Structure formats: C-alpha cells, structure tokens
C-alpha cells in the first residue's frame, strides 16, 4: 500500500475533531485515543482553551464580562499559539499522533459570527500546520440545544449572548449556533473535512473515525 502523504513537515500525524458545542467531540476524542493507544502508538491530546498561560485569563475575563469581539479573538488566538508551540508541534516532531478537540476552525466560526473580518481571523492562524485528517460532527441545532440543556447548561458566551442576538438564552443559542453552522458549512469543502452525521450512535461515529485513521496507519507512515 502506498504510504500516506502528510500535510505538514513533521514526523507525526495531526488529527482534529471539530464541531459545535454539544456535538460529542470529547467522547469521540477519548474513544479514538484509546483505540490508537491499543496499537502501541504514542498519542498526545490537546483540547480547546487549555493553555496553562492563557486559559485562566480567558475564564477570568469571561466571569467579569470583559471581552469584546476583538479581545475574544486575540485571547483565544494566544491560547492556541501557546499550545501549538509548547505541546502540539513538539509532539508532532517526536512522531506522536496528536489528537485535537477543536482547531482554529472553531475560531473562524465564532469570530466571524461576532463580526470579525474573515481574512483578519485567517491571518491570526496562518502559521498553523494543516491537519492530516479533520473530522466534523455535523449536528442540527435542535439536537444541540437538547444536549446542552441536559448536560452543562447554557453558557453566556457559548449562547452568543455577548453578541446581542436575543436576551432570551434559548433563542440566542439557536441563532448563534445556526450562524456558526453556516460558517462550518463552507469550511467543510474549504478545509477538506470528513463530515459525519452527529446524530448517529456513539459507536457508529467511533467506527467511522477509527476506520479512517486505520487507513492511514496501515500505509506504514509511522513505521
């Protein structure tokens, strides 16, 4: 079998699971991590907004309602840059399979919905390596709303209340998520997403992801 061609200059593989809030990314990331580790490959996981340098700053600013659209964009970009430099790229250089819960596509969707120019946002992340595989969990808004209500509840920023779509949390969430989904729709083709119906069972989604990853591993790219 012909060896898979990486989409970046590092030894490892960069695999992203992307989607809106409540789409099931964390569950699938954990399942995929276990299935890859079971084959004795080195795996590194990095989740959105987990920089030791910036994450607490973002949380504090949110708690105090200090973020406008520009500071929102720049702080998340700083978090991404810190994780990329100190976690993601070192792991890729060492030949690890790097699994990411969200990539800069999340920033593109959220920032543009908040009124930022798309080219300005793209420039913030132009240095980011292209993922070898990007899974996108495609979910309808009504299903997302039910999941969020049943788990974490509606967050002020994740509901888009800061944008001013509506004073009603539920209506604001619906409008905000629909606008984010519109951004993801054009990104599917632009960034070659592997789109998966997010309403499938957890097992079905995992099997699809595992199969796609296995196709790459079977080429011997990490041997």
pLDDT tens-digit series, residues 15-45: 999 998 888 899 999 999 999 999 999 999 9
Domain-embedded: residue 72:
yes
Beta-bridge partners for 134: 16
- Give the residue with greater pLDDT, 41 vs 155: 41
Domain-embedded: residue 117:
yes
- The pLDDT, as a whole number, for residue 150 is 63
Work out the pLDDT band at 77, boundaries 50, 70, 90.
Answer: very high
Domain-embedded: residue 7:
no
Provide the domain count of the chain: 1
Domain-embedded: residue 23:
yes
- Give the residue with greater pLDDT, 23 vs 185: 185
- The pLDDT, as a whole number, for residue 2 is 63
Domain that holds residue 93: 13-140+193-217
- The pLDDT, as a whole number, for residue 157 is 81
Work out the pLDDT band at 142, boundaries 50, 70, 90.
Answer: confident
Domain-embedded: residue 174:
no
Percent of the chain predicted with pLDDT > 70 = 97
- The pLDDT, as a whole number, for residue 201 is 96
3-state SS, residue 138? strand
* Residues near 141 by beta carbon (within 8 Å), at least 6 away in sequence: 174, 177, 178, 181
Quick check: 172 pLDDT over 90?
no
* Residues near 14 by beta carbon (within 8 Å), at least 6 away in sequence: 7, 8, 88, 92, 98, 100, 129, 130, 131, 132, 133
- The pLDDT, as a whole number, for residue 22 is 81
Q: Are 84 and 105 in contact (CB under 8 A)?
A: no
Give the mean model confidence (pLDDT) for residues 53-76.
94
Residue whose C-alpha is closest to residue 24's, from 211, 210, 208, 200: 200
Give the mean model confidence (pLDDT) for residues 130-150.
87
**85 DSSP 8-state letter:** I
d(CA 172, CA 157): 10
Domain-embedded: residue 167:
no
CATH value at residue 46: 3.40.50.300
Strand order in the sheet with 133-138: 43-47, 97-101, 13-18, 133-138, 194-197
**Structure-token pair, residue 29:** 């990331």
Size of the chain, expressed as the number of residues it contains: 223
- The pLDDT, as a whole number, for residue 1 is 58
Quick check: 88 pLDDT over 80?
yes
Domain-embedded: residue 161:
no
Domain-embedded: residue 222:
no
**100 DSSP 8-state letter:** E
């Amino acid at each position: 079998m012909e060896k898979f061609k990486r989409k970046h200059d590092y030894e490892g593989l960069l695999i992203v699971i992307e989607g809106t809030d409540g789409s099931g990314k964390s569950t699938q990331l954990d399942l995929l991590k276990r299935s890859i580790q079971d084959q004795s490959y080195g795996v590194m996981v990095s989740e959105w907004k987990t920089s030791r340098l910036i994450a607490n700053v973002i949380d504090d600013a949110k708690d105090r309602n200090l973020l406008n659209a520009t500071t929102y964009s720049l702080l998340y970009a700083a978090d991404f840059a810190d994780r990329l430099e100190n976690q993601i790229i070192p792991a890729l250089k060492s030949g690890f399979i790097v699994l990411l819960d969200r990539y800069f596509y999340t920033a593109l969707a959220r920032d543009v919905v908040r009124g930022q120019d798309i080219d300005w946002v793209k420039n913030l992340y132009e240095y980011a390596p292209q993922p070898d595989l990007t899974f996108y969990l495609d979910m309808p808004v009504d299903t997302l709303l039910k999941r969020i209500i049943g788990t974490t509840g509606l967050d002020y920023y994740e509901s888009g209340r800061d944008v001013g779509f509506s004073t009603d949390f539920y209506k604001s969430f619906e409008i905000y998520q629909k606008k984010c989904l519109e951004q993801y729709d054009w990104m599917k083709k632009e960034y070659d997403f592997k789109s998966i119906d997010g309403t499938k069972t957890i097992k079905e989604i995992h099997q699809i992801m595992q199969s796609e990853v296995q196709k790459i591993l079977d080429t011997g790219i990490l041997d």
